[in-house]
């Protein structure tokens, strides 16, 4: 069974389940309530408090355990549960700038473990991850609309995630890996700036979910001044990002700029209002990278 997982710093995405926060709570005893996964004698539940940013997600086991939740979700969605050992192939990804240095260690993080046994919601699972393949984020998302990009001499893919904004240049639909990078300038950076400013000026502590709601146009739950600060800081953030890309020699007013990722979906109004992008194209599917991983895996394995 092929399972694609996008290990975001803010959200974990899989094809057939709602994205969930990249956060875990660990316990030595069964916790009360919530979805519970037991692995190597410990109990885990998902948490809305995300794991602090890890440039290298293989530093500890937390992203592997989050992957076990994702695998259980996908097995359930496919109706593929078995009491026997289930053979799994994984398609995963990394930011383009990290890909060259980390893709071997990232695929090795999942393989070579033999049969992995765990319980999800008290149901026993035995899986064997027999193969893992890693692909560049951003390009994977662009693959989902590649047919519409093949006739464009230049398309810049900008993938705004939790902690990074990745960019990759496509020429006639082909990735130019000499023009790609990952900037540590994602939605989490914006959240921290907004929370600090609102705390300092209004003595109000904001949750990230509240900021998301304001950015999506729902302001009834906050004072007008809070909504004003969120909007103003978001516009500054977007303008500064585009200035940074311009400093890298990237022209946004010519060609097509393809925006993907949860950050781009949240900030679409500010992106369009910036006046700095000539022809923006938004991929609204937050799971676009995951669907691209599936397509790239199938192409790599059998040329489809």
Q: What fold characterizes domain 2-136+291-302?
A: Nucleotidyltransferase; domain 5 (3.30.420)
Contact between residue 10 and residue 47 where contact means Cβ atoms under 8 Å apart: no
Percent of the chain having pLDDT more than 70? Answer: 99
Query: Which pLDDT value is given to residue 303?
Result: 67
Which pair of structure tokens corresponds to residue 7? 């290990």
Which pair of structure tokens corresponds to residue 18? 């709602």
Degrees (nearest 5) of the Cα angle 222, 18, 89? Answer: 145
- 125 phi/psi in degrees, rounded to 5: -125, 140
Residues 6+ away with beta carbon under 8 Å from 285: 144, 291
Beta strands across the sheet bearing 17-21: 6-7, 11-14, 17-21
- 35 phi/psi in degrees, rounded to 5: -80, 130
State the pLDDT confidence band at 163, using cuts at 50, 70 and 90.
Answer: confident
Q: How far apart are the C-alpha atoms of 161 and 16, rounded to whole Å?
A: 20
**Beta-ladder partners of 89:** 2, 131
Sign of the dihedral through C-alpha 11, 273, 217, 291: negative
Residue 73 has a CB neighbour count (10 Å cut-off) of 21
Flag whether pLDDT at 34 surpasses 90: no
Of the candidate ranges 131-135, 172-176, 285-289, the one whose mean pLDDT is the lowest: 172-176
Domain spans of the chain, in order of start: 2-136+291-302, 145-187+219-284
Query: Which pLDDT value is given to residue 178?
Result: 80
Is there a shared CATH topology between the 2-136+291-302 domain and the 145-187+219-284 domain?
yes
Pick the CATH number of 145-187+219-284 from 3.30.420.40, 1.50.10.10, 3.30.9.10, 3.90.1530.10: 3.30.420.40
- Tell me if the pTM is above 0.85: yes
Mean pLDDT of 49-67: 93
Mean pLDDT of 7-30: 94
């Amino acid at each position: 069974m092929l399972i694609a997982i996008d290990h975001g710093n803010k959200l974990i995405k899989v094809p057939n389940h709602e994205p969930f926060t990249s956060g875990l709570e660990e316990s030595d005893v069964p916790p009360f309530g919530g979805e519970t996964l037991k692995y190597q004698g410990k109990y885990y539940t998902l948490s809305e408090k995300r794991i602090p940013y890890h440039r290298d997600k293989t530093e500890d086991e937390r992203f592997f355990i989050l992957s076990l939740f994702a695998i259980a979700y996908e097995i359930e969605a496919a109706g593929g549960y078995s009491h026997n050992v289930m053979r799994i192939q994984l398609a995963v990804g990394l930011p383009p700038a990290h890909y060259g240095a980390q893709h071997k260690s990232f695929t090795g993080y999942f393989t070579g473990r033999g049969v992995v046994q765990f319980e999800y919601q008290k149901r026993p699972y035995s899986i064997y991850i027999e193969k893992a393949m890693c692909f560049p984020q951003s390009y994977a998302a662009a693959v989902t609309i590649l047919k519409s990009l093949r006739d464009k001499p230049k398309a810049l893919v900008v993938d705004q995630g939790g902690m990074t904004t990745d960019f990759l240049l496509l020429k006639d639909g082909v990735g130019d890996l000499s023009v790609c990078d990952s900037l540590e300038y994602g939605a989490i950076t914006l959240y921290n700036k907004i929370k600090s400013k609102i705390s300092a000026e209004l003595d109000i502590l904001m949750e990230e979910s509240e900021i998301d709601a304001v950015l999506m146009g729902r302001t009834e739950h906050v004072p007008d001044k809070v909504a004003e600060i969120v909007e103003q800081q978001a516009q500054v953030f977007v303008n500064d990002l585009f200035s940074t890309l311009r400093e890298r020699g990237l022209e946004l007013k010519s060609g097509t700029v393809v925006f993907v990722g949860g950050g781009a979906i949240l900030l679409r109004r500010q992106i369009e209002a910036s006046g700095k992008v000539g022809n923006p194209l938004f991929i609204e599917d937050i799971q676009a990278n995951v669907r691209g991983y599936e397509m790239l895996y199938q192409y790599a394995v059998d040329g489809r």
